[in-house]
Amino acid sequence: MARQRDVDLVEVAAQASPPVARLMDFGRYKYEQSKKEREAKKHQVNVQLREVRMKPKIDDHDIDFKTRTAAKLLKQGDKVKVTVMFRGREITHPQIGKNLLDRVMGSLEEIATLEKPAMLEGRHMTIILAPDKKKIAALARAAAAASANGALVAEEEDEAVLAAAAAAPVVGEDDVNDDPGDDDLEDEDADGGTTGE
């Protein structure tokens, strides 16, 4: 039948009883498979492992800055390795590094999951955080809804200001009470001189 139709006989399931074969143009089939693979690669996200380093004697502001950096990387879809580097005798107090890593994890728990808990490897204590895509998407939706609500509130306030301005009486130049003796820019001193403010 394959020769009559000028197509190929391709065995699909060799383990089946009886074996299953299909009549098809094998060259076209291979081309379509490679096309599907190329299309899948376009949509594939390449996850990288990024690193944020800090030392045990880091200041609070610097911890916040490093945490914001890690959050930005997690929102981009990358995994983050948070490392505390010990120098000299600092290695004798690993609990300080553990507390620091726990603090960072606590700040990022709404967008990340702990993939690898704190481990001391030589003079470095590390954790690995993976982005939690569901939580990140939920936060993004909440932020979008908040900004949309803020835009609606601002629009309503603008409309109220315009309505108030339309209802206010129009003041012409003749209606303005100008006192020529009142000068906001210069005051007279006791001796008759002027001082600018």
Residue tagged 């006791």 (tokens): 190
Look over the chain and give the mean of its residue pLDDT values, rounded to a whole number. Answer: 81
In a domain, 151, yes or no: no
> Count of domains in the chain?
2
Residues 31 and 90 in one domain: no
Q: What would the mean pLDDT of 53-71 be, rounded to a whole number?
A: 94
Residues 61, 25, single domain; the answer is no
Nearest to 94 by CA among 129, 120, 66: 120
**CA torsion through residues 115, 119, 122, 124, sign:** positive
- pLDDT tier, 197 (very low <50, low <70, confident <90, very high otherwise): very low
Q: Quick one: 27 and 12 in the same domain? A: yes
Task: Report yes or no on 72 lying in a domain.
Answer: yes
47 beta partners: none
Range of the domain at 15: 2-43
If you average pLDDT over each of 35-44, 66-75, 187-196, which comes out highest? 66-75
Residues 125, 98 share a domain: yes
Within this chain, do residues 127 and 53 fall inside the same structural domain, yes or no?
Answer: yes
Q: Is the residue at 180 inside a domain?
A: no
In a domain, 143, yes or no: no
Is 186 or 61 the better-scoring residue by pLDDT?
61
31 located within any domain: yes
Whole-number percent of the chain with pLDDT over 90: 41
Instruction: Compute the distance between CA of residue 81 and CA of residue 116 in angstroms, rounded to an integer.
Output: 9
Q: Between β-strands 79-85 and 49-54, what pairing exists: parallel, antiparallel or unpaired?
A: parallel
If asked whether residues 57 and 92 sit together in one domain, one would say yes
Residue 8 CB coordination number (10 Å):
15
Of 77, 96, 131, at which residue does a domain stop? 131
pTM for the model stands at 0.54
* 49 contacts 79 by C-beta, under 8 angstroms: yes
